[in-house]
């Protein structure tokens, strides 16, 4: 670590924001986190746990790379929309497995989706690792797509009957059942929507180096953002900034990957502690 704490703080937080190239890299790093985090946040609002965004993203990246391979020299304006559609369909299909197991046999979707992430990485292997070599980076277009997805997620949750059903099922399952809301339909909607967004994230990430752990970091971003679309965007940008700063610390400051990797976890622990303290204070005031 740098001997000067100010220098270390500059390297960790502010250095990635100091140049236009750094800002562009920050946006490219944040876009997959935003898309995956939005899907996770929407599912968690309905008490549906999609812990398999990593596998859905990997399938999306592989599908996007396959479309790019098939296009070859004939690639044109249609290639990127086709890549996005294929990636969303691949992520959606992989997320359908835990949805089926949850609705048919009451299998815990969180555990199933998490195990499927490891299966996806093993199944795809080199295809996942080389997906970035088969597609062009789409940082600016990806950020526009992520912002559109965030606005759509906010509108869905705050201004539609579907969003109201998601919130009711998540907060009061018995009231939802009494009102006639289908829990199975909500599970399908949440998992398929979350998987589709993760697949889109894979298509965007296929234009860059597909770093491991995006799905897990997106889970942290979802909870740091308090499961709100705007919060997810802000938390994803923060985590992307810290990730790039941590990489700079590792290169120039001598910090190890283990030392810099604890930062997102510490942020989440602090948030959960503050949330617990707030809830405890509210209970005490009610008494």
CATH number reported for the structural domain that contains residue 200 in this entry: 1.10.3470
Q: Is 64 left (phi over 0), alpha (psi -120 to 50) or beta?
A: alpha
Distance CA 210, CA 239 (A): 16
- Show pLDDT as tens, one digit a residue, over the chain (287 residues): 555 666 666 767 777 787 888 888 888 889 999 999 999 999 999 999 999 999 999 999 899 888 888 887 777 788 888 989 999 999 999 999 999 999 999 999 999 999 999 999 888 875 555 554 444 445 678 899 999 999 999 999 999 999 999 999 999 999 999 999 999 999 999 999 999 999 999 988 875 555 678 888 899 899 989 999 999 999 999 988 888 877 777 655 556 666 666 776 777 787 777 766 555 554 455 55
Rounded to whole angstroms, what are the CA distances from 10 to 15, 19, 40? 6, 13, 31
Within 103-227, strands assigned E span: none
Q: What is the residue range of 111's domain?
A: 5-286
CA angle 28, 65, 133 (to 5 degrees): 65
Distance CA 110, CA 213 (A): 17
With H, G, I as helix, E, B as strand and everything else as coil, classify residue 78.
coil
Q: How many domains are contained in the chain?
A: 1
Q: Whole-model pTM?
A: 0.89
């Amino acid at each position: 670590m740098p001997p000067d704490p100010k220098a270390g703080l500059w390297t960790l937080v502010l250095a990635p924001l100091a140049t236009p190239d750094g800002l562009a890299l920050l946006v490219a790093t944040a876009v997959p986190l935003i898309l995956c985090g939005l899907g996770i946040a929407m599912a968690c609002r309905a008490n549906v746990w999609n812990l398999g965004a990593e596998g859905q993203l990997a399938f999306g990246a592989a599908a996007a790379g396959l479309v790019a391979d098939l296009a070859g020299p004939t690639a044109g304006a249609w290639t990127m929309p086709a890549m996005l559609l294929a990636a969303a369909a691949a992520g959606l299909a992989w997320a359908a497995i835990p949805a089926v197991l949850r609705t048919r046999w009451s299998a815990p979707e969180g555990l199933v989706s998490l195990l499927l992430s490891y299966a996806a990485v093993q199944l795809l292997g080199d295809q996942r690792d080389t997906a970035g070599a088969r597609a062009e980076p789409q940082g600016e277009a990806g950020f526009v797509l992520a912002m559109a997805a965030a606005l759509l997620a906010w509108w869905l949750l705050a201004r539609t009957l579907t969003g109201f059903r998601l919130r009711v099922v998540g907060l009061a399952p018995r009231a939802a059942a009494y009102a006639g809301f289908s829990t199975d339909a909500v599970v399908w909607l949440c998992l398929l929507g979350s998987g589709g967004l993760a697949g889109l994230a894979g298509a965007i990430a296929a234009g860059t180096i597909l770093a491991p752990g995006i799905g897990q970091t997106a889970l942290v971003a979802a909870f740091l953002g308090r499961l709100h679309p705007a919060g997810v965007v802000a938390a994803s940008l923060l985590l992307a900034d810290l990730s790039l700063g941590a990489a700079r610390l590792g290169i120039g400051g001598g910090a190890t990957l283990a030392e810099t990797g604890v930062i997102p976890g510490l942020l989440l622990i602090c948030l959960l502690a503050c949330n617990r303290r707030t809830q405890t204070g509210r209970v005490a005031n009610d008494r």
